[in-house]
Structures are given as structure tokens and as C-alpha cells.
Structure 1
Amino acid sequence: MKRLLLLPLLSLALAACAQKGIEGVQTFDYQGGDHRPGSLVYAENPPAGGAHNTLWQNCGVYDQPLYNEYAVHSLEHGAVWITYRPDLAPEGVAALKALVDGRPYTILSPYEGLPSPVVASAWNAQLAVESPTDERLKAFLDKYEQGPTAPERGAACSGGYSGTR
């Protein structure tokens, strides 16, 4: 009899844990499908959604800054874009490369003028952290890579633009 009472309580506890957000994540409310040519201005640095180029950035690891307009289109497809300050120590960059290794819907690149050393961005979500080994980065990837906030989840993350600034 006691066992039957514990199962509903355990289910409630597990559901509450699953719904708990990642500390520090900011959310936004951008709609998808707004394709525009040229250079665009974004509210966030780096952007976490909004108007973007018709071509997407190929997912992968880059050692040069990217154009926001292509990367934002990849976010719309369900990619997570991890950016880091260009002066991040080599061991920090190596930790980020290891974090994204084997993940097909991630982009990693340096980014000038970040508000913190590392910023992870997905469509309508962003997390700024002080350390490339912050455990919240993996949690962010697990939640938002091909996550429910992406308007075109599952669309291509290759066959697009592979250049840098």
C-alpha cells in the first residue's frame, strides 16, 4: 500500500525537476520566417532570433567571427550558437570544442564585444557564462539543440554559407 502512495509523489517530483529552467537563461519572443537581405541590427549581442538572411550558416567550428544574419537563420533551424571572446585562453576554446564535438546542430565561433566570456544562443533563448566549463552550457545544448523553440527545427544545418567575416 505504501508503495502505491510513493509512485504518484515520485512522478510529481520528477515532473517538477524536468520543468525547472536553466539558471540565467534569458528568453525572447521572435517569430520565424523573416528573411531580409543585407546587414541587420539586433537587440541582443549576439542575436537570439529575429530577421535574418535567406541563407543559413553551416554548423561547425569556426576560428573567425561570423555574420549574424547567417547564424541567426541556423538558430531558426534548431542550431545552438556558442560564441566566445576572441581573447579566451586556448584551453577554454578547447573545452568548448570538446563540448560541441559530435553535435550536428551547433556553431562555435569567436565574437567581439560579448557581455561575458561565453554566450550560448538558441532561437528565443540565451545564456551568458563566465567560464567555458560552466555545466549550464551542456544543459543549454541538451535543451535547445533541435529544441522546441526553433520555428524550423530539423531544417538543414549544412549546404548553406560556410564563410566568415
Structure 2
Amino acid sequence: MSRRWWGTLVSVVVTTLSVITMSSLGAGVLLGLSREDRALPCDRVPGTPEPFEGNRHIPYEGAPHEAYRTMPPTSGPHSPRVVVPGIYRDPVPEELQVHVLEHGHVLVQYAPDVSADDVRALERLGRRHPRDTVVAPYPALGHGIGLTGWQRLHRLDTLDEQAVEEFISRVAGRYDHGWQDGATDCLEP
């Protein structure tokens, strides 16, 4: 076989594979556009809906502001800084917690009475959702586990891994500087 023939064959194969690949990607995009991503109905979102407490930035951490109405906070005045999702061994200040929520993330926080084994389980759950979750201690909680999303709160007396997984999966991303994909605060009008 001549080099010319091999060159032609390789060109045809590469072109064919390229067309197939691009066609597959295009079909995937079109199918994605035709599929309407909608938020879960409120009765399928875990936790309790909480009233909007504002979303203004305070000038610096520790600046005076209105007290939060929920423990942990679910909205309200917050720091202009934000922490990235991940596992934290130190408490995250409340003003940073709220900014994390404003970006659509979920906080999984635990009180001092939560066992080391349960903390490891919470961290493992957080690692399953590395873009969506902040896991941290929260001594002010006093007891148990607090799960928060923007205007959403779920408290657990003891670890329920399924409930934590469900909260993260269903609440993360519902809000990101505004309600996403038809989500609402789920408060009765």
C-alpha cells in the first residue's frame, strides 16, 4: 500500500469520527435544551421554609447587623467574603455562612455533642458533593446537626445519613443570588 492511500484512509477515519463525535454532542445539547429543568415542588423539598431576612452585605465581619431569626441562619446580612465548599474543622462565622447559602450551597453543621464517628460520616457525605456543601462544627447549635440552604432549615437530633443526603441533593442549587429553575421560597403567600 502506498503512503498516499494510508494518508487518505486515516483522513477519512478521523473525519468520520469527528463528525460522529460532534453530532453526538450536538444531539446532547439539543436534548438538554428540550428537557425543561424544573425545581422540585415544595412538598418534596426537605426541611422547613424560613422567611427572607434580607441579603445585604455588611461592611466587614463583625459589623453590627440585625440578629438572625434562625439557628443556624438561613438568610440575612452577610459578609462580602465567601468560603468555598469543603470540609472545615473550625466554625464558619455566621456572616460567612449566609454568603455560602446565597451562592446556592448547603451547610452541614454539627454541635459539640455529635460523636467523632458521626462527624466523619458527615464529612464523607460532604465529600460526595464537593461543589455544593460546607461541613463544619457549629458550637452555637448546642445539640445535634443543622442543615441549611437559602431560606431552608432542617435540624436533626441524631445523624440520619439518608436525611442529610436528601437535603443536600434537593436543596443545593435551588437558590444562587435568586431562585433557580422555577424554585421558590415555598412560603405560603
TM-score (norm 2): 0.64
Structure 2 residue 47 is matched with structure 1 residue 20: no
Is the partner of 1:128 in helix, strand or coil?
Answer: strand
How far the C-alpha of 1:21 sits from its partner, in A, is 3.0
For 2:45 and 2:105, locate their aligned partners in 1 and report how far apart those are by CA, in whole Å. 18
Q: Of 58, 61, 68, which residue of structure 1 is paired with 2:87?
A: 61
Paired with 1:50 and 1:141, the residues of 2 have a C-alpha distance of 21
Residue pair 1:31, 1:151 contacting (<8 A) in 2 also: no
Name structure 2 gaps, 5 residues minimum. 1-39, 181-189
Q: How does 1:77-92 map to 2 (within 5 A)?
A: 77-92=103-118
Farther off after superposition, 72-81 or 95-104: 95-104
Q: Is the 8 A contact 1:78 1:153 kept in 2?
A: no
CA RMSD across the alignment: 2.4
Deviation at 1:106, TM superposition (A): 0.7
Moved more, 32-41 or 90-99: 32-41
Tell me which stretches of 4 or more aligned residues in structure 1 moved more than 6 Å: none
Query: Which structure has the larger Rg over C-alpha atoms?
Result: 2
Question: Residue 83 of structure 2 contacts residue 96 of structure 2 at CA under 8 Å; is this kept in 1?
Answer: yes
Task: From 146, 152, 156, give the equivalent of 1:129.
Answer: 156
Task: Rate the CA distance shift 1:18–1:59 in 2: closer, same or farther, 3 A.
Answer: same
> Distance in 2 between the 1:132 and 1:64 partners?
20
* Contact 1:32–1:151 (8 Å) recurs in 2: no
Match of 1:49 among 43, 62, 75: 75
Partner of 2:145: 118
Q: Separation in 2 of the partners of 1:32 and 1:150?
A: 14
Which protein is richer in helix relative to its size?
2
Aligned pair in 2 of structure 1 residues 86, 150: CA closer, same or farther (>3 Å)?
same
The answer to whether the 8 A contact 1:77-1:153 is kept is no
**What code does the residue aligned with 1:78 have?**
G
Report if the CA contact (8 A) 2:105-2:134 is conserved.
Answer: yes
Given the superposition, is the C-alpha separation of residues 19 and 43 from structure 1 closer, same or farther in structure 2, using an over 3 Å criterion?
closer
From the superposition, tell whether residues 102 and 137 of structure 1 become closer, same or farther in structure 2 (CA, over 3 Å): closer
2:140 is paired with a residue of what secondary structure? coil
Q: Is 1:116–1:128's contact at 8 Å kept on the other side of the alignment?
A: no
Q: Deviations over 1:78-118 (max 9, x none)?
A: 01011101231111001101111131121011111316410
Mapped contact 1:76–1:153 kept (Cα < 8 A): no
Q: CA, structure 1 residues 22+116, in 2 after alignment: closer, same or farther (shift >3 Å)?
A: farther
Q: Corresponding residue for 2:51? A: 29
* In structure 1, distance between residues paired with 2:106 and 2:113: 21
Distance 1:78 1:99 in 2: 17
